[in-house]
Amino acid sequence: MRARPSHVVGAIVLLALASAVPLSAQDAARAGGTLSVTTGSDEARTAFWAGLDDLENIFFERGGRQLQRALGLDPKLGLARAAYGLFAPGLTPAQRDQEINQGVADAANASTGELLLALAWRARGADRTAERLVLFRAAAELLPQDRHLAYYVANSEPNLQERVRKLDAVTRRFPDYAPPYNQLAYARNTLGDMAGALTAAQQQVQVAPNLPNPHDSYAEMLQFAGRLDEATQHYQHAMGLDGDYIAAHTGLAEVAMLKGDGATARTHYGHAIQKETVPQTRLGYRQAIAVTYVNEGNLKAAVAELTAVAEEAERNNFPAVAAGAHRNLAVVEAALGDKNTPHGHLARAAELGGDVPVQQAFAAVTHALLGHLNPARAAATRYAEGGAAPNPAPALMRNIHSVNGVVAAAEGNAAGVLDASRQAGPAGALAKVLAAELLKKEGKRSEAQTLRDEVLAYSQVDVFTVIAKQRAKKI
């Protein structure tokens, strides 16, 4: 990705500012070639590194608590404040901005490496990718032996295949450092390399067997591979290492749902809701509970739960959550229920969340399922145009193919649906089942049943895949 001129100029200015940091701090950092944190409190330093370790290993709740402890011991520890603002759960956007900006200001009184890293963390968001990468690279060049910075550079690479190559190189340089294995596993899975994803996740477990996230990530890869009993064992191991690790509960919920045990799935989601401190996330788990009802064919219960979530989200001024619930209601009703209500849900979602890409995708699918071709095509076109940037993410391209496949099904174009569903890969379950329905109508029962079986074997638990499985059972 080519950097925007404004980002390049901004980075040059920031590097010039960084050069004003006291030479004594810079020289101390360069001597070891690794990142240090400037504080007079050894306890604060220990708490910071423990917190960063948790954050990098996807344990944000505990990591946030560790960073709070570090800041309690040294309120001027800028890197701790910037990290807390960026990663700690439960902060509002305004609170995040305040914490990160204060962290950058405090880091300006520390070492060059600390300031560069704090500035890179502040440059969050997709529109600042180039600026963030420049800052990470500058910090890594200043401190070439630092594993954290090498990892951040690799993981900020916008091209997924190049990111995999760079993450793999980091694991060879720092084989006992767990976080790169995690990102490598998910990146390889996104590229369709299931064997490579499993290998990377297993290596993460071997490097950090006493942390919950490696077991959780390996369990998820096993789940994606359909090895549900093994996945259950590692989710349980993650929970045993730390009972507050919420992802283990949600993982066990997903496995239970894939096994057709909705009651157990809802129990695990209930545990996650009890432990979660962020109200928007709790409502997200309630939407997942609604999907378990869809998976059981209990449309009435699913609609009731989603409706309750939408109402509560609106009462509490969580418009994004409410919009998501209305989108789910629209597509569930269109695919399996009342054909008269989806339009109202789409309209309300647009009012709450705007005409964002996810709205366009859900609108295209909903209209296609209702047989309304013109609005379906228009929404699908807007969605595809929004993803037409250079080097679009593979996951986005699969979603675009999936949406196009659903629209092709509404047009009765079986060949187009099949082609789109193949390009969509695991995201194409709904398109694939619609292709099966078209083939069945054409009398091609054997081909239709082959597609049906493929859909029923999918291990995703998103609303589109679950709807697809419900329709597949009728073929």
Q: Is residue 220 part of a domain?
A: yes
CA 428, 432, 435, 437 dihedral sign is negative
CATH code for position 187:
1.25.40.10
Which of 250, 277, 304 terminates a domain? The answer is 277
pLDDT of 390: 64
The arithmetic mean of pLDDT across residues 89-112, rounded, is 94
Band of residue 21 on the pLDDT scale cut at 50, 70, 90: very low
User: How many secondary structure helices (H) and strands (E) does the chain include?
Assistant: 27, 0
DSSP state of 276: -
Res. 119: pLDDT tops 60: yes
pLDDT of 205: 97
Residue 291 burial by Cβ neighbours in a 10 Å radius (0-12, 13-18, 19+)? buried
Which of 277, 311, 334 terminates a domain? The answer is 277
Which of 228, 247, 277 terminates a domain? The answer is 277
DSSP, collapsed to helix, strand or coil, labels residue 87 as helix
Res. 4: pLDDT tops 50: no
* CB neighbours of residue 3 within 10 Å: 15
Res. 412: pLDDT tops 60: yes
pLDDT of 252: 97
pLDDT of 126: 76
pLDDT of 2: 33
Q: Is residue 166 part of a domain?
A: yes
Domain that holds residue 422: 388-475
Closest CA to 67 of 92, 33, 91: 91
User: Where is pLDDT greater, at 213 or 244?
Assistant: 213
pTM: 0.85
CA 56, 62, 67, 70 dihedral sign is negative
pLDDT of 22: 41
CA–CA separation, 23 and 15 (whole Å): 15
Query: Are the beta carbons of 379 and 400 closer than 8 angstroms?
Result: no
In the chain, pLDDT over 70 holds for what percent of residues? 92
Backbone angles phi, psi at 175, to 5 degrees: -65, -20
Backbone angles phi, psi at 92, to 5 degrees: -75, 165
CA–CA separation, 290 and 269 (whole Å): 11
Closest CA to 444 of 475, 471, 470: 475
Phi-psi region of 298 (alpha: psi -120 to 50; beta: other; left: phi over 0): beta
How many domains are contained in the chain? 2
